[in-house]
Structure formats: C-alpha cells, structure tokens
Chain A
Amino acid sequence: MLGTTGKTRLAKWYMQFDDDEKQKLIEEVHAVVTVRDAKHTNFVEFRNFKIIYRRYAGLYFCICVDVTDNNLAYLEGIHNFVEVLNEYFHNVCELDLVFNFYKVYTVVDEMFLAGEIRETSQTKVLKQLLMLQSLE
C-alpha cells in the first residue's frame, strides 16, 4: 500500500529480499505506479513480474504477481481486501490504517498467505478478526 507521497503504509513480502533491495523495489514501484492515471490499464509490466494496482482515494494498493497469473482475479482480490478493511474499521480512511498498522497486517494475513489468496468470504474474515480482537 503506497500513499501518493511515496510513504509506505504497508508492505508485505513473500519472497526473499535484502533491506536495501526492498527499499529500492518500493521506490521503483512507486515511480511506475504514480505516474499512471485513469487512462491506463491497471496492469504494469515490471522486471519479470506484473504489478496489479488500484487507486482508492490517496492510496495505491499494489500486488506484484507472476506473469502467468490472472490479472482480473487479483484485481478483484484487491477490491475484496479493501471492502473487508472498510467493514472492519467502519468507513476506513488512511489515518486509520496508519495508526492501526499492526491490525492491518492481521487482515492481510487472514486474506493472503504464502503469496496466494487464502480466504475469500468477507463474512468469515470479519468474524475471525473480531475474535482475534477480543483476545487482545
């Protein structure tokens, strides 16, 4: 998740990278994604992967996948994730995500695992999240 100013709001890595490589990758992705506007497709070729991204208000949600994966399915995955965030935080805004970043990581872990989509039912995910919250 990237803000328009380039600040990372959340970064989840499923492959092995050094810290400086991670930083560089984030900058590259930011450079590629922020210059595109509504006239462009939501898919960008990046190194030997694809980036599938969607912009919601001031945040870019980017997923980096292999070239063989189905673009549209992951686009829907992003939307699913955003809808869950919306439900969980009750009309979420960027500040919510900043101040509760560890909770956002929990949501990510519930929905995506090992680089794949894990749970697709929004009601189920929300139920789990509420349970987890009660444990804290």
Chain B
Amino acid sequence: MSPSVPLQEMIRAIRSARTQCEERGVIQRECAAIRAQFRQADNGGRSHNLAKLLYVHMLGYPAHFGQMECVRMIASPRYSEKRVGYLGAMMLLDEKQDASLLITNSIKNDLSNSNQYIQSLALCTLACMGSAEMCRDLAPEIDRLLRASNSYIKKKAALCAVHIVRKVHDLGELFTKAARSLLTEKNHGVVHGAVVLITELCERNSETLERFRKTVPDLVQIMKGLVISGYSPDHDVAGISDPFLQVRILRLLRILGRNNEAASDAMNDLLAQVATNTDSTKTVGNAVLYETVLTVLDIKSESGLRVLAVNILGRFLLNNDRNIRYIAMTSLQKIVGTDHNAVQRHRGTIVDCLKDQDASVKRRALELSLALVSASNIRSMMKELLSFLSSCPPELRSQTASGIFNAAERYAPSQRWHIDTILHVLTTAGGDVRDETVPNLIQLITNTSELHCYTVHKLYRALLSDISQQPLVQVACWCIGEYGDLLLTGECQETEPVQVTEDYVLDVLETVLQSHMSSPSTRGFALTATMKLSTRITENVDRIRSIVSIYGSCIDVELQQRAVEYNALFKKYDHMRAAVLERMPVIEKNSQGHTNGETIKESQTVKVKPGEPQQPANQVQANAAFYTVFSIVATVTVYEKDGVTVTLSCEKQSDSGLTVTLTASNSTESDIRGFTLQAAVPKSVQLHMKAPSGDSLPARGTAKLVFTFADMSEVYETKVSPVTS
C-alpha cells in the first residue's frame, strides 16, 4: 500500500505539534473526521482512515470505535483493505472484545482462499490474537494447511498451531502427526516451525514426549547437517548456518533427553561435536554454545561431556562481554549444587564480578559467591563479601547480610572471628539485617564466656561512635548491662582496654535512652541495661535510681511499665535486687529460635537463678516463689525447709515438650502426708501433670514423690506450693 497522502499529512501534523495539548487537539479533530467517514461507508478512503486510526492508537489514544470497521474491512474482497483490517484486528481486538468472534468466519473463509498471502494474513491474525473458541473452531483448518500447502504457508501454520496449543491444550493431539512429518522438510523455516511446535507439544504432555523420543535420530541428523555442511548463504549469520534453528533443536533435544538414558546416549556425540566446533568469537556462536551447555547439563550425559560444558562456562566467565559473563553465572548457579568442585575452580573470577558495575551481574555474582563459601575458603571469601557489603547497592544489602550470617555460622573458624564478623556487618549495614539477628548474636556472645571482656570493649567503642544502627545499639546495650563490670575494671587481654568511669558508661546509656534515633525496643534494652548496672557498679546507684524513676512517667507504655517495676525493685524488694539482676547463665540454643526466658526482640524478663533462698514465710502453705526454669538438664533444689527437700529436674524430651520431675524427700522424724503439688503456668504453655507416685513422704526416707509434667516450652513459671499437713 503506497503511503496515502492523508495519512502522511496527519502524521506530519501530529509530529509538528509542539506541546502535548496541541497534539491532543490535532488527534481529536482527526478522530472526529474518521468517525464521520466510518459512518458514511465511504468506499475509497476506508483503508486510509483505518490506518490513521491505528497510528493514533499506537501513540496511546483510545480507538475502540474502529473495531466494527475492522470487521467490515476484513470481509472486503480487496487485498489492501483486508490487510489494514487484519492489522487493525491484531491491534485493536483481543479476546475480551465481543467483536473478535465476528471475524472468525472471515478468517475461516480466508484460510481456504487461493491467494497465499490472504491465507497468511488470516494465519497471522489467528496466531496473534486468537481466543480459545476461535482456536477450537479453526483448528481442523490449520491441520489441513499443515499437511498440504506450500512451504510459505506451512511455516505460518506451524506457528499458528503453537499458539492454538498454548491456548487450548487438548488440541495438541490433533497436530502431532502432522508435526512429525514436517520434520523431514527441506525448508529451514518449516523445520524451525515444526521444532517449535514439537517443543510445545512435548512440554505440555508427557505421552507426546514419549512418542517424539523416536525422532531424536532425525534431529541429530539435521543438526549434523547444519554444523558440518558448508556455507549456506541463505541462513548464514556470521559464519554459522542458521543458528536459530540450531538453538531450537538443541532445546528440543534437551527436553527429549531429560531423564532418559537412551536418548541422551544418542546425543552425546553430536553435543561434543557442536561444543568443540562452534566458533565462539561472535555472539551467535556463543548463543549456540550456551544452549549446548544447558542441554549437556540437563540430560544424562557422560562425565567427560559435563567437564567440557563446565569448561565452556568457565571460558564464558573470562569473556570481555558482560552479557556472556552474566549468562555464564546464571547457569553456574544451577549446577553449583551438583558439580560443586568444578565451579570452585572459577571462584576467583566470580568474586571479581562482584565489583562489576551492572546491578544484575552483581546479584548473580553474590548468589554464586554465597553458594561457594566453604570451610577452606571462608576467611578470604568473607573479606571479599564484607568489602562488597560496604559498597553494594541497597537492594542487595539484606541479602548479603543474611548470606554472610549463614556462612559465618556454618564455617566460622573461631568464635572471636565470628563475633568480629557479625559486628562488622552490624556497623556497616545494621539497618538491613533481619530481626532475629539480635537474639542470635546475644546468645552467641553469652556462650563464649572467655570473650566477654573483648566483646564488651568492642561494643562500647562502637556505641561511642554511632548510635543510629538499631540492632548494633541493642546488642551493645545488652552487653554493657551484663558485662559492664568488665568494662570498668580497665583491663582486657584481647584488646586495648578503655579507661572509663561509671559515669561515662551511664552517660552512654542515657544518650541512647534520650536519642530520638532510638526505637522503642532499643530504649527498652537501654533501660534494662541501666538497671542491671545498678548491681555491677558501686558508686552511682542513686543516679540509676533517678533515671529509672524519671521513666516511670514516660509516655511509652512499655518503658513506663519497666521503669515502674524497676522502681519497685529498688524500693520494696531491694534485697532481691542483686539476685534478680545477676548474670545470665549460658543459654542453650533452642531449635525453635528462641532463647529461654527471653521473648524475641524486646523485654527481658527478670531472671532468677534457682537455688536462691526464698522469702521467709511462717506458714508452710502457699509459698509464692517464682522460678524460671531453664531447659538445660539441671537438678535444682527449690525448697528446703523443715526437713523437706524438693528438687526439680528438667529434661528436654522433644522440641516442644519439656519434662520436669519434682522429687521430694523427707529427712524429718515424722511422716508427711497429704503432699500435693499445684502448678500454674501462663496461657502460652500447656501443662500435663501426670499422677504422682504417692502422696506421703515416709520419715527419714528418700522415697520420692515424683511429679512429672510435660510442658510446651517457652517462658513459664511454676508456683511450687507444697501443701503438707
């Protein structure tokens, strides 16, 4: 169609509009004119008008009033009008429009037209926007065309069939036979279409897959022809004959050879040949090589071939072209699980790619590096990863941080290194770490008792320089609270000690408390830490007392509650304070991700070491002693009075259950009868009390009354109140 003058004028007019507003004006005028002309059914200029409308639509303006016109034009006998009509159908109509059904009949007629170009137009449109109903109606036509027509039509029919199969999966059955015969055609385009169709059929239906396995020798033959045979000017791209067809055949071979020994054997030679003979200086060659590598890695190939494939990927990694490095890393990611050693050889290059400027290359390199970390290379890899963390784009930060934590946990060569690494991460990217980092780190620190001094010094220094990173501040506050006395002694073996007074330490904590950068949970940490210091330091207890009482009227409810409780601890229970605020014992790592007696993140319940003397009470009954029990195996004497000794021992039976055995023994002269146990637990815990072994303690006996109860663990408290007569 020669460019119509009105169309060109319109395009020029639109382009010369200088502002968006002017352009809209021009387009509105034109659309109005087009609408008027559509109504007139003007014969001559119809195709021009529709073409104008399509241009307007391409720019993004609404053009749905042209849909009926499209339908009308498709039905017209003239080629030029049909052409524009079909183009309009492809652009304006889609499955959701009702008008699309109207063109089904036209398409059907056109598919049997004698003019192959009209047939091809119809095929194009069907392949582009055919809805499920249209596909169902017209599938037999397509099948007919697949078998008996010229190669030009066969090509298009094959791809049309692909679209039909994608829309309506069941119709795949219809095309299998025809597809098989198409493979033997000479025309590359037809073979290409056939291969795509077969790929689609095999991906959908495993039965078809079985049937097509028999075609493997044919495909191998075709490939060999392509690779070996000489120069074919038609399909040659930079020295490789029809790389697109090669790539598609390789992909089909991959699907056919997956999980199948026989088929994979048949392909081995071919794949080796392609891998070695293909010229890899140009992108096309690399495209074919890449597909070959993917195929080799996916089928059951022999090990020599796999090594060859990994070597090719290694060569890709050293290529200057960034694209090729990117796809090499993507493929290496898939095989790092199975061929770990082979990938390890290229670790250096991969780590270098961390410094590339492209964000997607960086991401791939990061994932691969994290997968390649092992016990032998942990130190060097960690250095690289940490330097990457300080310079990486923000969206990769949290992934890097959690990857570093995982790696450090698995392969840490020493505790001190582990703590150092975590501290480094917290100082560089503290805001992006996950929430459970804080309790994990606290647990780690508690468990390495020999490094307490070192840790608290480091954290104190970190806190002095920067209090904005919340996780770091939380951990630091906790440590200072626990081990503040180590800080104040002024000596440390591992690192340079700080010479501080108690005032400085309290200053730091108060800064954290008052800073507007601190989150509420951080403040909670700081307040508790200040409180704990009251037993660790000697002089400034009054200062602590005043801080605590100030926060008794804080707006934040959590802080207020804590402050009030601590105040009470100062006033009424001062004698208990030392015991309450003692050092935490070693925490056992609980697989459910929580530490005993500590709720995740925030408040730290006051912990009391067992074995503490209870409050003096004159009555035997109802001793309200609160004990928090740990899930370490321990035997604890909880009550010792008047000759009755009660011990609690805990055993962790399962992940969710804890068995506590209470043994009572009597060392007095008289029997004790009516010995019962009452236990109360908070609602988060389930308690199953089993029947005791008896209810009387014989005199001087070590006969035991055994009360077993199983709990769902977490924090729980039991009130042990022996009732004796």
A23 contacts across to B, CB distance below 8 A? 60
B290-332 contacts to A, CB under 8 A, are: 290-291, 294, 322-324, 326-327
B55 contacts across to A, CB distance below 8 A? 101
Q: What's the minimum C-beta distance from B374 to chain A, rounded to whole angstroms?
A: 28
* Contact, CB under 8 Å: A39 / B358: yes
Of the 9-residue stretches A56-64, A66-74, A84-92, which lies at the interface with chain B? A66-74
* Contact, CB under 8 Å: B95 / A16: yes
* Contact, CB under 8 Å: B192 / A43: no
Q: What's the minimum C-beta distance from B701 to chain A, rounded to whole angstroms?
A: 73
Of the 9-residue stretches B239-247, B401-409, B434-442, B707-715, which lies at the interface with chain A? B239-247
* Contact, CB under 8 Å: A113 / B79: no
A16 contacts across to B, CB distance below 8 A? 94-96
Q: What's the minimum C-beta distance from A90 to chain B, rounded to whole angstroms?
A: 15
Of the 9-residue stretches B175-183, B213-221, B281-289, B637-645, which lies at the interface with chain A? B281-289
Q: What's the minimum C-beta distance from A120 to chain B, rounded to whole angstroms?
A: 5
Q: How far is the CA of A36 from the CA of B546 in the complex (A)?
A: 59
Q: What's the minimum C-beta distance from B3 to chain A, rounded to whole angstroms?
A: 6
* Contact, CB under 8 Å: A119 / B155: yes
What count of chain B residues pass the 8 Å CB interface test?
66
* Contact, CB under 8 Å: A72 / B327: yes
**Assuming the A-B contacts A19-B62, A76-B244, A136-B80, are A116 and B327 also in contact, with contact meaning beta carbons closer than 8 angstroms in the complex?**
no
Q: What's the minimum C-beta distance from B241 to chain A, rounded to whole angstroms?
A: 10
**Assuming the A-B contacts A102-B54, A120-B192, A124-B189, are A73 and B117 also in contact, with contact meaning beta carbons closer than 8 angstroms in the complex?**
no
**Assuming the A-B contacts A113-B156, A128-B152, are A70 and B234 also in contact, with contact meaning beta carbons closer than 8 angstroms in the complex?**
no
* Contact, CB under 8 Å: A39 / B357: yes
Q: How far is the CA of A9 from the CA of B58 in the complex (A)?
A: 7
* Contact, CB under 8 Å: A44 / B80: no
User: Which of B60, B188, B291 gathers most chain A CB within 10 Å?
Assistant: B60
Indicate whether A34 reaches chain B with its CB closer than 8 angstroms: no
* Contact, CB under 8 Å: B155 / A102: no
Q: Find B87's partner among A42, A102, A117 (CB 8 Å cutoff).
A: A102
Indicate whether B36 reaches chain A with its CB closer than 8 angstroms: no
User: Which of A13, A23, A73, A75 gathers most chain B CB within 10 Å?
Assistant: A73
* Contact, CB under 8 Å: A80 / B358: no
Q: What's the minimum C-beta distance from B118 to chain A, rounded to whole angstroms?
A: 9
Of the 9-residue stretches B159-167, B474-482, B562-570, B615-623, which lies at the interface with chain A? B159-167
How many A-B contacts if CB must be within 8 Å?
144
Q: How far is the CA of A76 from the CA of B1 in the complex (A)?
A: 30
Q: Find B83's partner among A43, A113, A136 (CB 8 Å cutoff).
A: A136
The 8 A CB mask of B442-486 against A (1 = contact, 0 = none) is: 000000000000000000000000000000000000000000000
Q: What's the minimum C-beta distance from B456 to chain A, rounded to whole angstroms?
A: 44
B166 contacts across to A, CB distance below 8 A? 114
B62-101 contacts to A, CB under 8 A, are: 62, 79-80, 83-84, 87, 90, 94-96
Q: How far is the CA of A8 from the CA of B11 in the complex (A)?
A: 14
* Contact, CB under 8 Å: A72 / B286: yes
* Contact, CB under 8 Å: A41 / B322: yes
* Contact, CB under 8 Å: A101 / B287: no
Indicate whether A45 reaches chain B with its CB closer than 8 angstroms: yes
Q: How far is the CA of A117 from the CA of B251 in the complex (A)?
A: 14
Indicate whether A49 reaches chain B with its CB closer than 8 angstroms: no
Q: What's the minimum C-beta distance from A103 to chain B, rounded to whole angstroms?
A: 8
Indicate whether B235 reaches chain A with its CB closer than 8 angstroms: yes
**Assuming the A-B contacts A41-B322, A76-B283, A119-B155, are A124 and B59 also in contact, with contact meaning beta carbons closer than 8 angstroms in the complex?**
no
Q: What's the minimum C-beta distance from B86 to chain A, rounded to whole angstroms?
A: 9
* Contact, CB under 8 Å: B244 / A71: no
Q: How far is the CA of A114 from the CA of B193 in the complex (A)?
A: 11
B96 contacts across to A, CB distance below 8 A? 16, 18
Q: Looking at chain A, what size class is its interface with the partner chain?
A: 35 or more
* Contact, CB under 8 Å: B8 / A76: no
Indicate whether B15 reaches chain A with its CB closer than 8 angstroms: yes
| A83 nearest in chain B by CB position | B237
**Assuming the A-B contacts A76-B243, A119-B189, are A40 and B291 also in contact, with contact meaning beta carbons closer than 8 angstroms in the complex?**
no
Indicate whether B487 reaches chain A with its CB closer than 8 angstroms: no
The 8 A CB mask of B109-134 against A (1 = contact, 0 = none) is: 00000000100000010011000000
A109 contacts across to B, CB distance below 8 A? 124
* Contact, CB under 8 Å: A76 / B54: no
B658 contacts across to A, CB distance below 8 A? none
Indicate whether B361 reaches chain A with its CB closer than 8 angstroms: yes
| A36 nearest in chain B by CB position | B358
Indicate whether B2 reaches chain A with its CB closer than 8 angstroms: yes
Q: Find A14's partner among B79, B80, B128 (CB 8 Å cutoff).
A: B128
Q: What's the minimum C-beta distance from A54 to chain B, rounded to whole angstroms?
A: 10
The 8 A CB mask of B138-159 against A (1 = contact, 0 = none) is: 0000000000000010011001
A72 contacts across to B, CB distance below 8 A? 283-284, 286-287, 290, 323-324, 327
Q: Find A124's partner among B196, B234, B290, B322 (CB 8 Å cutoff).
A: B234
Indicate whether A130 reaches chain B with its CB closer than 8 angstroms: no
The 8 A CB mask of B41-67 against A (1 = contact, 0 = none) is: 000000000010011001110100000
Q: How far is the CA of A68 from the CA of B447 in the complex (A)?
A: 47
A9 contacts across to B, CB distance below 8 A? 58
* Contact, CB under 8 Å: B235 / A116: no
**Assuming the A-B contacts A44-B360, A72-B290, A73-B291, are A120 and B242 also in contact, with contact meaning beta carbons closer than 8 angstroms in the complex?**
yes
A31 contacts across to B, CB distance below 8 A? none
Q: What's the minimum C-beta distance from A118 to chain B, rounded to whole angstroms?
A: 6
Indicate whether A93 reaches chain B with its CB closer than 8 angstroms: no
A71 contacts across to B, CB distance below 8 A? 323, 327
A12 contacts across to B, CB distance below 8 A? 128
* Contact, CB under 8 Å: B162 / A8: no
Indicate whether A121 reaches chain B with its CB closer than 8 angstroms: yes
* Contact, CB under 8 Å: B11 / A117: no
| A125 nearest in chain B by CB position | B189
Q: What's the minimum C-beta distance from B472 to chain A, rounded to whole angstroms?
A: 33
* Contact, CB under 8 Å: B162 / A116: yes
Q: A40-B322, A40-B359 are in contact. List 10 more A-B contacts (CB 8 A).
A: A39-B358, A70-B247, A99-B3, A114-B163, A116-B162, A117-B244, A118-B193, A120-B188, A120-B242, A131-B117
A-B contact pairs, 18 of them (CB 8 A): A16-B95, A39-B322, A40-B360, A43-B323, A43-B327, A44-B360, A70-B290, A76-B237, A76-B284, A98-B11, A98-B15, A113-B128, A116-B196, A117-B192, A118-B159, A120-B244, A123-B233, A136-B1
Q: Which residues of A contact B (CB under 8 A)?
A: 7-14, 16-19, 23, 26, 39-45, 70-73, 75-77, 80, 98-102, 105, 109, 113-121, 123-124, 128, 131-132, 135-136
Top 6 A-B pairs, shortest CB-CB distance: A72-B287, A114-B163, A136-B1, A113-B159, A114-B127, A121-B234
